[in-house]
Amino acid sequence: MLAHNVTIVPDDAVRMTFVVPFDGSDLAEAALARAVEYGRALEEPVAAISVVPERKRYAREKSWIDPDEAFDVDAVIETLREQVGSIAPDATFEYERIREFPPEQRLAGRIEQLAQQFDPTVVFLGSDNVGRVVTPLTSVGVHVAADDTYDVHIVRQTSPPRLAGLEPHPEFYPDSADSESESE
């Protein structure tokens, strides 16, 4: 007789989705890696979302282009897609191009609308200033974190997680495997 491991999932079980607003920054990459780590541990899908204003000033602020470089929106979107693919090859990548360069609150609203398409249970937000006592008004993360339809996991460090049961992302933290084997 063969033994089978079977997991029975009720028809009304809620499928979680982990969503990461992604702008290509180091902390956005860390948030994506963290979402992948949780997604692997909990067997849940990950989606990375980007809102790309078609304005040079914003592109320069995000370091998508150099000060004297021409702004090719499609090239920036492709670069973001490649970054997401290198960290989270199984993740969905969605983006929205917008013509204007809106205030941070309106930009956050566009990010929230894009995130809501995935009905997220958790949004992984890479930010070093969300939740501080004094919060800059220019932080998109502040506005995204204020939405109460999902939980928010704030990633403030680019180091591997220190939570038992989570395997550090091997490609994102290449030195973590070496340091673990040295400590054994």
pLDDT by residue (tens digit) across 20-61?
999 999 999 999 999 999 999 888 999 999 999 888 888 998
Cα Rg of the chain, angstroms:
18
Between 55 and 135, the more confident residue is: 55
Q: What is the pLDDT of residue 112?
A: 86
In contact, 87 and 36? CB cutoff 8 Å? yes
CA 108-113-116 angle, to 5 degrees, is 120
- Torsion region of 119: left, alpha or beta (phi above 0 gives left; psi -120 to 50 gives alpha): left
Joined tokens for residue 132: 């501080």
Pick from 42, 31, 19, 32: nearest CA to 116: 19
Residue 177 carries which DSSP code?
H
pTM (predicted TM-score): 0.75
Q: Say how far apart CA 171 and CA 177 lie, in whole Å.
A: 10
Give, in order, the Cα–Cα distances in Å from 98 to each of 54, 58, 77, 81, 144. Answer: 6, 12, 12, 17, 18
What integer is the mean pLDDT of 59-87? 93
Least confident of 11-15, 46-50, 163-167, 177-181: 177-181
Question: Can you name the residues that pair with 123 across neighbouring β-strands?
Answer: 19, 152
Pick from 136, 146, 74, 134: nearest CA to 108: 146
In contact, 125 and 21? CB cutoff 8 Å? yes
- Residue 174: how many other CB atoms lie within 10 Å: 10
With H, G, I as helix, E, B as strand and everything else as coil, classify residue 76. Answer: helix
Q: Go through the domains of the chain in sequence order and give each one's CATH number.
A: 18-177 (3.40.50.620)
Q: Say how far apart CA 126 and CA 148 lie, in whole Å.
A: 18
